[in-house]
Chains A and B, each alone.
Chain A
Amino acid sequence: MHADIMLNHAVTGLEGPLLFARREANVSLNDAVEVIGSEGRARVGRVSALDEETMVIEVLESTTGLNLDGTRIRIRQRPLEMSLGPNLLGRVFNSVGQPIDGGPPVPARQRRRVDGMAINPAARDLPRDFIETTVSTIDLMNSLVRGQKLPLFSCGGLPHDRLATQIAQRARLRGAETGEFCVVFVGIGVPYDIAENFRYAMEKSGALAHTAMFLNHADEPSTQRLLTPRFALTAAEYLAFVEGRHVLVVMTDMTNYCEALREVSASHGEIPSRKGYPGYMYSDLASIFERAGCIKGLPGTLTQLPILTMPGDDIGHPIPDLTGYITEGQIVLGRELDRKGVYPPVEVLPSLSRLMDAGTGKGYTHADHPALSNQLFACYARASRARVLASVMGVDGLPETDRRFLEFGDAFEERLVSQEQPRTLEQSMALGWELLRLLPASELTRLSADQLARYIEIEPEPVEPDPETGAGVG
């Protein structure tokens, strides 16, 4: 075991988050350090470059209050790590993994590198277990599976937190007990009330005991935001791959993370790429999102539900764009639906779950699930095209079929997208078939003759009671 080394009077310069010091000890690249100001407060940092005489330390917390003379450096002689042990659940931590709930420290059974290690792609097990979120637009149209990373792309002011909280409360495997399921909530630059609302909701549903929270508040230094998800994911990996739990990591708001990344990069004087974000933002985000997954021979799973708000509501902005290139799909929330009063305002067309094909269909959910969602997608896309036409020449100018599609589109949003109560997959599917019956059977070319016969060309059923009512979480 390496011992800590203390350097006094070694600091030669301070520049933004960077601290320059004489290399008076045997220091290696990426060694964790504590930078201790004359006021006695320790800040986490790491050695980011070094030569024979000098070293550059990246201070990962605020440098305010540091000076050249009174600052001491404790060198850990090993990379940044987190101590982990039992009883993480039910606890609240700060950005650097220290408990802030007044409880005892976490017993240290194991140290894990905060940066994580890449999962050997050959050791990955394919995520296949369908998670029922009870949200139709997800379960039916963009299914989530264990080990997936599926972000919510939202806009400022939309109810993404409410949706994420609901998913965290209700998500379960079909036909299984909640069992070893747990939640890690990661607040990155979030206001106190968001963290508190989440805590309150989890408490109310009795899930708080299965939840660990990592909080970086909006008024805390932005450089720390780069650490929050890393500490949280290190704990999540421990919960999943050591304790064997099925972990759902809710991270909000990744946009704050990216802003912090831009800020730190700028203070390093790096050449920016698009919109001032660093060229390595893709790799940096991947080092977070790729920590989701299932591993052969290890019991638990790590599922990620990151939330980001798209700056300027623009999905082409580098933050959602790079995220979309890394994650396994995205659930897009839209302002227009929200204005129409649709909750959850999920824009179905730009949403996607790439692992849906692996986790749905025969042997996973229902044999006709893929065809149904496919047909709904095709019809809803056609309905949106018809809407564009209608906006140009009015509904009356449209051929009869297009008008039917318009009706379908409205019904789809009002009855399937919009949902106040949880629905089982069966309820969502029944609703889907019902909506398709609004259209001429000849238009439903994604369904087989058999599916048409079984679900579409049946005798009209007596008016059904509102599917919302009486729908319980199974």
Chain B
Amino acid sequence: MSRARIQWIGGPVLKARVSEPFQIHEALAVGEQRLLGEVIQLSGDLLTAQVYEDTTGLKPGDPVIGTGLPLSVALGPGILGHIFDGLLRPLGDVGEHWFRPGLAAARSNEFEFEPRLAEGDEVRGGQVFGEVAGLGPGRACLVPPLIAGRVRSIRPPGTYAEDATVLVVEGEDGAEHALAMQHDWPVRRPRPAAERLSADAPMVTGQRILDTLFPVARGGRAALPGGFGTGKTVLQESLAKWCDADVIVYVGCGERGNEMADVLNEFPELEDPRTGRPLMERTVIIANTSNMPVAAREASIYTAITVAEYFRDQGLHVALMADSTSRWAEALREVSGRLGELPGESGYPAYLASRLADFYERASRVRTLNGEEGSVTVIGAVSPPAGDFSEPVTSHTKRYVRSFWALDRGRAQARSYPAIHPLKSYAEDVDTLARWWQLQGNSEWKDYRRRLLGLLETQARLERMARIVGKDSLPAEQQLSLLAADLMNEGFLRQSAFSEVDRFCSPKRQTAMLRLMMQFIDLAGEAVERGVSPAEIAAMPILRTLQRLGEEFGEADLDSKPQLAARIGEAFHALHVAEENADAR
């Protein structure tokens, strides 16, 4: 281990005089408290490092010790279901009210190990060599990606510490590797996969406006920009709860402590609608709240995606929620400023764009080294200053994501959630994902989607017109378009995260709701053609049912769809009968 002594220190950055060689990005133990740090520059006999904890009390002359490894995290069966800081040190079981430097103890959980290999077997990197009994997802023990050789020994079934040697591999080069259920991986290096696969299916989110209008592919990447209070966190939490991923990695990057507490509080109580298990079992929380050390905020994003890749490598579908990537970018800016680097746009370093690209590039659907399919879907919240999407973080992010969910202040203020603006958002994988919907028995998905978007566009245009000529003087079919768009906004796109009935909407229910809405709109169109006035349609009692469909037609009511469809038919029939009677008189 290399050693150095602090020569200068200010805030989270220090310079140290080295006596032995260090590597760039090497992890460090700084001072007597052995605070975690990382080498960020080397020049001559001076190294520059950032420290991931409060540096109060450090002074020149204090020791800096190299670990010989790049900044790494220990990936293993003890991760799922728990909360960690930005460097994957556990926060949950420490029983401490306050977050203190050097606080987190090493986690040493014991797990029941079942070998899946025998002595003499060949092993490759990424292979499953054992399983942990009693875990939901994430039970596979993986050979670290870069190791290959032959099993020299493997422990029999039994209970072992997560970091105890259970497998010894004789490498191809003759070196011996002692492996445990957990292994270390450098956070800034993407984990390798056998092959990258292209998008084929959506990640089903259970949110109508997303699944129906702006889907994200499994292994895809989406950004969620919006000013303060527009609903980024609530939407991310909703996705974390209800999306159809096997594992959720939720990283609170520079956001509120109470939001982390909320997830911790709520998830164990909620049930995964697919497995019936507590949601917490499939969730990892990584928390670097806004009052925790800034340098660790920068690292937390990498920690999170490394954890996500680790589960992907077990053949799982992983969703990573990052709230908020803007705070990460600001941490980057702050550290860059302290290093005296030349500032670019809005003070961000020139490499902001490439860092963002590197991060989103780690979202993927792959064939794993073990030959299975796995994916990491990344959903990043963006917090643009004053809600202005032209700022650097939003505009660069926009270049790298394929789904863009723009949150709108006006919608949020009217409490019309999720406040995603349908005309400012987009999804690029629609054509590919249409096939998936076809397999679910909804071959009209793409048509419906186009119609719905068309309707919303028409609404925007007509409302501009109505402002000049007055709504009442628009032709009947245009008035009907407005009514239809209102119905779609209120009855279909709006979905409260806090409604027990409506917080999750299965693809089946989305299809059923959409069909009912379209049936109504079609019949209303015919009625207007036949001379019924839009006002009469607006007064139809069935309209209220449709406006409240999300609330009143829950997952348990799917069977009643034919009755509802019949009621809509009858309502229009009654309208015609009344019309004819009136004509006859």
| A293 partner, pick from B258, B337, B385, B468, beta carbons under 8 A | B258
Contacts of A51 in B (CB 8 A): 7-9, 15, 60
| B59 partner, pick from A26, A286, A293, beta carbons under 8 A | A26
Cβ-closest chain B residue relative to A77:
B57
Taking chain A's interface residues, is the majority helix, strand, or loop, or is none over half, making it mixed? mixed
B415 interface residue per 8 A CB criterion: yes
A280 to B336, CA, bound (A): 12
Give 7 closest A-B pairs by Cβ, nearest first: A49-B10, A286-B290, A316-B386, A381-B414, A324-B228, A124-B261, A121-B260
Q: Among residues 352 to 391 in chain A, which have CB atoms less than 8 Å away from a CB atom of chain B? A: 352, 354-355, 357-358, 370, 374, 377-378, 381-382, 389
B residues sitting closer than 8 Å to A (CB atoms) are 7-11, 15, 55-61, 83, 91-92, 94, 96-100, 103, 227-229, 252, 254, 256-258, 260-262, 264-265, 287, 289-292, 294, 327, 330, 333-334, 337, 343, 346-347, 383, 385-388, 413-416, 466-468, 470-472, 490, 498, 539, 543-544, 547-548, 551
Q: Among residues 259 to 301 in chain A, which have CB atoms less than 8 Å away from a CB atom of chain B? A: 270-274, 279-280, 282-283, 286-287, 290-291, 293, 295-298
- In the complex, the answer to whether B56 meets A124 with C-beta atoms within 8 Å is no
- In the complex, the answer to whether B385 meets A279 with C-beta atoms within 8 Å is no
- In the complex, the answer to whether A377 meets B10 with C-beta atoms within 8 Å is no
Q: Among residues 318 to 371 in chain A, which have CB atoms less than 8 Å away from a CB atom of chain B? A: 318, 321-322, 324-326, 328-330, 349-350, 352, 354-355, 357-358, 370
- In the complex, the answer to whether B383 meets A381 with C-beta atoms within 8 Å is no
Contacts of A147 in B (CB 8 A): 258
- In the complex, the answer to whether B91 meets A122 with C-beta atoms within 8 Å is yes
A1 interface residue per 8 A CB criterion: no
A218 interface residue per 8 A CB criterion: no
Contacts of B347 in A (CB 8 A): 271-273, 279
- In the complex, the answer to whether A120 meets B472 with C-beta atoms within 8 Å is no
A399 interface residue per 8 A CB criterion: yes
- In the complex, the answer to whether A442 meets B539 with C-beta atoms within 8 Å is yes
**Contact of A119 with B60 at beta-carbon distance under 8 Å, contacts A52-B7, A328-B256, A349-B413 already known:** no
A50 interface residue per 8 A CB criterion: yes
| A50 partner, pick from B60, B97, B413, beta carbons under 8 A | B60
Count class of interface residues, chain A: 35 or more
Contacts of B99 in A (CB 8 A): 117-121
A119 to B289, CA, bound (A): 9
Cβ-closest chain B residue relative to A318:
B385
Q: List 14 A-B contacts (CB under 8 A).
A: A28-B59, A51-B60, A117-B98, A122-B92, A122-B94, A123-B96, A270-B337, A271-B343, A279-B334, A279-B337, A290-B256, A297-B97, A398-B470, A442-B544
Contacts of A79 in B (CB 8 A): 56-57
| A445 partner, pick from B83, B92, B256, B547, beta carbons under 8 A | B547
**Contact of A29 with B9 at beta-carbon distance under 8 Å, contacts A120-B98, A121-B257, A273-B346 already known:** yes
- In the complex, the answer to whether A30 meets B57 with C-beta atoms within 8 Å is yes
Residue among B91, B261, B471 with most chain A CB within 10 A: B261
A131 to chain B, nearest CB (A): 16
- In the complex, the answer to whether A29 meets B58 with C-beta atoms within 8 Å is yes
A residues sitting closer than 8 Å to B (CB atoms) are 23, 26-31, 48-52, 56, 79, 117-127, 147, 241, 270-274, 279-280, 282-283, 286-287, 290-291, 293, 295-298, 316-318, 321-322, 324-326, 328-330, 349-350, 352, 354-355, 357-358, 370, 374, 377-378, 381-382, 389, 392-393, 397-399, 402, 442, 445, 448
Contacts of B8 in A (CB 8 A): 49-52
| A355 partner, pick from B60, B258, B490, beta carbons under 8 A | B258
Contacts of B548 in A (CB 8 A): 445, 448
Residue among A30, A125, A298, A445 with most chain B CB within 10 A: A445
Contacts of B229 in A (CB 8 A): 324, 329-330, 352, 354
Cβ-closest chain B residue relative to A448:
B551
- In the complex, the answer to whether A282 meets B343 with C-beta atoms within 8 Å is no
A48 to B56, CA, bound (A): 10
- In the complex, the answer to whether A119 meets B61 with C-beta atoms within 8 Å is no
Contacts of B292 in A (CB 8 A): 118
Contacts of B103 in A (CB 8 A): 120
- In the complex, the answer to whether B291 meets A287 with C-beta atoms within 8 Å is yes
B234 to chain A, nearest CB (A): 9
- In the complex, the answer to whether A286 meets B333 with C-beta atoms within 8 Å is no
Contacts of A124 in B (CB 8 A): 257-258, 260-261
- In the complex, the answer to whether A30 meets B56 with C-beta atoms within 8 Å is yes
A26 to B100, CA, bound (A): 23
| B83 partner, pick from A122, A270, A325, A398, beta carbons under 8 A | A122
- In the complex, the answer to whether B57 meets A118 with C-beta atoms within 8 Å is no
Q: A28-B57, A280-B294 are in contact. List 15 more A-B contacts (CB 8 A).
A: A29-B10, A49-B11, A52-B7, A120-B96, A121-B260, A122-B261, A125-B261, A241-B97, A286-B254, A290-B256, A316-B388, A324-B229, A328-B258, A330-B229, A350-B413
B18 to chain A, nearest CB (A): 15
- In the complex, the answer to whether A28 meets B58 with C-beta atoms within 8 Å is yes
B384 to chain A, nearest CB (A): 10
- In the complex, the answer to whether B291 meets A370 with C-beta atoms within 8 Å is no
- In the complex, the answer to whether B346 meets A290 with C-beta atoms within 8 Å is no
Contacts of A287 in B (CB 8 A): 290-291
A142 to chain B, nearest CB (A): 11
Contacts of A280 in B (CB 8 A): 294, 334
A355 to B472, CA, bound (A): 41
- In the complex, the answer to whether A28 meets B56 with C-beta atoms within 8 Å is yes
- In the complex, the answer to whether A295 meets B97 with C-beta atoms within 8 Å is yes
A306 to B94, CA, bound (A): 32
- In the complex, the answer to whether A293 meets B414 with C-beta atoms within 8 Å is no
Residue among A121, A273, A318, A325 with most chain B CB within 10 A: A121
- In the complex, the answer to whether A48 meets B97 with C-beta atoms within 8 Å is no
**Contact of A283 with B258 at beta-carbon distance under 8 Å, contacts A122-B92, A325-B228, A397-B470 already known:** no
- In the complex, the answer to whether A118 meets B291 with C-beta atoms within 8 Å is yes
A370 to B92, CA, bound (A): 32
A118 to B297, CA, bound (A): 14
A125 to B135, CA, bound (A): 28
A276 to chain B, nearest CB (A): 11
A80 to B56, CA, bound (A): 10
Residue among B55, B94, B257, B258 with most chain A CB within 10 A: B258
A354 to B231, CA, bound (A): 10
- In the complex, the answer to whether B327 meets A282 with C-beta atoms within 8 Å is yes
A329 to B229, CA, bound (A): 7
**Contact of A378 with B415 at beta-carbon distance under 8 Å, contacts A321-B386, A326-B290 already known:** yes
A374 to B502, CA, bound (A): 15
Cβ-closest chain B residue relative to A115:
B56
Cβ-closest chain A residue relative to B473:
A397
Contacts of B257 in A (CB 8 A): 118-119, 121, 124, 290, 293
Cβ-closest chain B residue relative to A379:
B414
Cβ-closest chain A residue relative to B62:
A28
A291 to chain B, nearest CB (A): 8
Contacts of A282 in B (CB 8 A): 254, 290, 327, 330
**Contact of A321 with B385 at beta-carbon distance under 8 Å, contacts A56-B10, A79-B56 already known:** yes
**Contact of A290 with B290 at beta-carbon distance under 8 Å, contacts A121-B83, A121-B91 already known:** yes
Cβ-closest chain A residue relative to B540:
A442
A181 to B339, CA, bound (A): 46
A319 to chain B, nearest CB (A): 11
